Chain A
Amino acid sequence: MEDVSSRGLHFQLSDSQRNRLRKSRELLREAPGNYHPSAFVNIADPIHVENEATVLKGHGTQVLDGQLLATLSGVVERVDQLVTVKPLRCRYNAETGDVVVGRITEVGTKRWKVDINFRQDVHLMLSAVNLPGGIQRRRTVIDELNMRSLFEENDLISAEVQSVHSDGSVHLHTRSLKYGKLTNGQLVKVPPYLVKRLKQHFHNLKSCAVDMIIGCNGYIWICAAVDSLPSNPEIEKITGDSGAPEMDSCNESISLKVRENICRLANSIRVLSALGFLIYPDTIIDTFDASISKGVAIKDMLGAEFLVMIAEREASRRTKNNYML
């Protein structure tokens, strides 16, 4: 029996479902605007270049006996003279300015270590966070001792990549009110290559009263919208509008409707990631709406029928209207 199950989730497909899935995959293969077959290279395959001497050898290439070979299995990209091979599945490659979601792994002296699915843990310096109260000042020894009151081990945070250094280390910062500790929600992990880079990675889905942070590193945070929560006048009075909100690890109580919306969105993302489709707000909401209009229960969204349905939808969408991303 041929295995056509997808990454991430294991589905028991009936024969007809398997055929439907295979058919929609074939449609996707023939969809317009796809990669040319010659763009794919395997490890140690030669890459065709016009002039060996003038070409710039980028990531994923090596030179052997004067011949340019790939060191990764992926897609060749050419920018002017630069030739690189982009692998499809790999760890997140940090770039300055990316919005990421991460998990604190260690609290050290003057810095937190954060896991963002990078090839090392990255640093968040004490000097790169906003202290509660919002005043800009020197970080004192007292601040250093109180670091755990800001972020503890295993806390989830959203942050921005501040710099990528030549030795491979990466620094984050949370110097904006939109970054900081994440509460009242759910984390979904997807492969980073599926996340489309956009201008905006913070999304407020007003219709579901849900906020969504699509980290470039493939960590996606879905939480109850801040304005939907019962507001606590006490806290607002203390923090005012001048500074970062008090980092509070206790979760608010969220209404059942919002909790369901969060789970439905999370499962939409899981289905898209299992099928290997691109993940950005349009596709997530499209899948979300499809599940509602078809009356699929949240738990059945991770079932075979819904998976095949979404695959067919995407295949017909891409083949029909000469669709280009």
Chain B
Amino acid sequence: MALEFISPEGLRLDGRRPAEIRQLRANLGVIDKADGSATFEMGNTKVIAAVYGPHEVQNRSQQLLDQALVKCEYSMANFSTGDRRRKQKGDRRSVEISLVIRQSMEAAIMTHLLPRTQIDIFVHVLQADGGTRSACINAASLALADAGIPMRDIVASCASGYLNNTPLLDLNYLEDSGGGPDVTIALLPKLDKITLLQMDAKLPLEMFEKVFELGNKGCVAIANYMRNVLLENTKDLAFARGVVKV
């Protein structure tokens, strides 16, 4: 018998309502040596992101004369999943996620303002409980903003799914492995543009639109939270330093 994902009272396995995101938590400036860094938590999923750059291009043959080179590396800590296992770097999954994160961040960064430079984004999953892809994009977005890299808009990402004939927002690991479709969206909320849309299952079109709409709303909610964190961080830095006339 299939697992009951929604109780008769309309609550999910972890007690959320179908259109509710998990608790969010974000911290900026967690790594000293990085130009920008952030941790981002969505419930039990926790990721850390570090941004180095813009700096000199390491491999000169890759240098771009009209825009910045963006590189991204995704990795998972051995202790991040339920069963401890050693994963080699560069397996298919992490290569794919690195690519996805890079593409969605590149769409937001104003790369044409930083020609002949390189921006490195490193994201590391500390705890995996579903939605690592979204959490990584959110963390990378905050880290880029912390590094003072010009961006068109903040990228916010959220997953949504469809289980027990109900659209669900922000799936956790159990729901993720429930076999239903899983739609990951990354959104530029102010510009109202999608930078990432992924789905790994089939879903009727009318259902897809509902799920997609729900995921969009989740992204907007997450973006609002991220903007608050960023603004508070900016204020903290400015007030500590005081007003300086340069």
A interface list, Cβ under 8 A from B: 3, 7-9, 25, 28-29, 31, 33-35, 37, 40, 42-44, 59-60, 62, 64, 69, 71-75, 87-91, 105, 113, 115, 119-121, 167-168, 193-194, 196-197, 275-278, 318, 324-325
**Which of A35, A44, A73 touches B191 (beta carbons < 8 Å)?**
A44
**Which of A42, A62, A72, A119 touches B231 (beta carbons < 8 Å)?**
A42
Kindly state the separation between the CA atoms of A60 and B78 in the bound complex, as whole angstroms.
Answer: 40
B117: Cβ under 8 A from any A Cβ = yes
Question: Are the CB atoms of B190 and A34 closer together than 8 Å?
Answer: no
Q: Distance (Å) between the CB of A20 and the closest chain B CB?
A: 15
Question: Are the CB atoms of B54 and A119 closer together than 8 Å?
Answer: yes
List residues of chain A with CB within 8 A of the CB of B237: 88-89, 193, 276
List residues of chain B with CB within 8 A of the CB of A25: 236, 239-240
List residues of chain B with CB within 8 A of the CB of A35: 238-239, 243
Q: Distance (Å) between the CB of B134 and the closest chain A CB?
A: 19
List residues of chain A with CB within 8 A of the CB of B53: 91, 119
List residues of chain A with CB within 8 A of the CB of B56: 105, 113, 115, 120-121
List residues of chain A with CB within 8 A of the CB of B179: none
Kindly state the separation between the CA atoms of A64 and B239 in the bound complex, as whole angstroms.
Answer: 30
Number of interface residues of B (CB under 8 A): 45
Total CB contacts across the A-B interface at under 8 A: 134
B203-246 near A? 1/0 per residue, CB < 8 Å: 00000000000000000000000010011011111111111111
CB closest residue in chain B, given A72 = B150
Task: Classify the secondary structure of A's interface with B.
Answer: loop
- Can you name 23 A-B pairs with beta carbons within 8 Å? A9-B32, A28-B239, A33-B243, A35-B243, A42-B234, A44-B151, A44-B152, A44-B188, A71-B151, A72-B145, A72-B150, A87-B148, A89-B35, A90-B35, A91-B53, A115-B56, A120-B55, A167-B115, A168-B116, A196-B244, A197-B246, A276-B236, A277-B240
B130: Cβ under 8 A from any A Cβ = no
B146: Cβ under 8 A from any A Cβ = yes
Q: Residue among A33, A73, A318 with the most chain B CB within 10 A? A: A73
Question: Are the CB atoms of B241 and A64 closer together than 8 Å?
Answer: no
Interface of chain B residues 141 through 155 with chain A (CB within 8 A): 145-154
B81: Cβ under 8 A from any A Cβ = no
Kindly state the separation between the CA atoms of A87 and B150 in the bound complex, as whole angstroms.
Answer: 9
List residues of chain A with CB within 8 A of the CB of B188: 44
A34/B243 contact (C-beta < 8 A), A43-B145, A60-B150, A73-B145 known? yes
A88/B242 contact (C-beta < 8 A), A44-B152, A119-B55 known? no
Kindly state the separation between the CA atoms of A37 and B244 in the bound complex, as whole angstroms.
Answer: 16
**Which of B29, B110, B230 touches A73 (beta carbons < 8 Å)?**
B230
Q: Distance (Å) between the CB of A213 and the closest chain B CB?
A: 19
Question: Are the CB atoms of B236 and A119 closer together than 8 Å?
Answer: no
Question: Are the CB atoms of A325 and B242 closer together than 8 Å?
Answer: yes
Question: Are the CB atoms of A325 and B244 closer together than 8 Å?
Answer: yes
CB closest residue in chain B, given A71 = B150
B105: Cβ under 8 A from any A Cβ = no
